[in-house]
């Protein structure tokens, strides 16, 4: 079991990190979530895919620290609401681990360090992404 000061400090790091990530995606449109993140048309991840990969990494790390089997990730093209839900679920599991009587300090620190590093990196990539081209406008038939 983690002592209260360590647990509180780890919670604070998770909260601060998630606030930065959410700030990076605040105001993104559905079109922005579908845009290629690093300007690698045809080969790069979309913002939604990168967020889904982030949630998957946290989910996997949570399973590993608990000694649970790591299952295969979901497939397909994630949508903004799905990735936000997946991120919330992964965050919930991380927080639950920090409250678990079986949690040890070393694993808890490693879990939080990983989450914070990945979220900071992705938040930076999102903030520095190339400008999104406006969606095409199609003329209405008969006008």
Q: From CA 124, how far away is CA 102, in angstroms rounded? A: 34
Q: Tell me how many domains the chain contains.
A: 1
Residue 40 has pLDDT above 60, yes or no: no
Q: What dihedral do alpha carbons 60, 61, 67, 72 form, nearest 10°?
A: 10
Is residue 135, in this structure, part of any structural domain at all?
A: no
Q: What is the pLDDT of residue 39?
A: 62
Query: What domain range includes position 119?
Result: 4-127
Give pLDDT tens digits for 81-110: 999 999 999 999 999 999 999 999 999 999
Q: Count CB atoms within 10 A of the CB of residue 44.
A: 15
DSSP-based three-state secondary structure for 42: coil
Q: What is the pLDDT of residue 5?
A: 97
Q: What is the pLDDT of residue 78?
A: 87
Is residue 27, in this structure, part of any structural domain at all?
A: yes
Is residue 142, in this structure, part of any structural domain at all?
A: no
Instruction: Give the pTM.
Output: 0.86
**Domain CATH number, residue 13:** 1.20.120.450
Is residue 78, in this structure, part of any structural domain at all?
A: yes
Residues 6+ apart with CB under 8 A from 78: 48, 49, 51, 52, 86
Is residue 137, in this structure, part of any structural domain at all?
A: no
Residue 14 parent element (H or E): helix 4-25
Q: From CA 30, how far away is CA 79, in angstroms rounded? A: 8
Is residue 63, in this structure, part of any structural domain at all?
A: yes
143 falls in which pLDDT band (50, 70, 90)? low
């Amino acid at each position: 079991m983690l002592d209260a000061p360590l647990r509180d400090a780890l919670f604070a790091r998770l909260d601060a990190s998630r606030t930065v990530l959410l700030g990076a995606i605040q105001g993104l449109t559905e079109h922005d979530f579908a845009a290629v993140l690093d300007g690698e048309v045809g080969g790069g991840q979309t913002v939604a895919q990168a967020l889904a990969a982030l949630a998957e990494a946290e989910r996997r790390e949570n399973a590993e620290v608990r000694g649970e089997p790591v299952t295969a990730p979901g497939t397909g093209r994630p949508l903004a609401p799905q990735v936000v839900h997946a991120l919330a679920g992964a965050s919930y599991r991380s927080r639950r681990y920090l409250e678990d009587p079986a949690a040890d300090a070393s694993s808890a620190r490693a879990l939080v360090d990983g989450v914070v590093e990945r979220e900071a990196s992705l938040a930076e990539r999102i903030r520095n992404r190339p400008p999104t081209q406006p969606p095409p406008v199609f003329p209405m038939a008969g006008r």
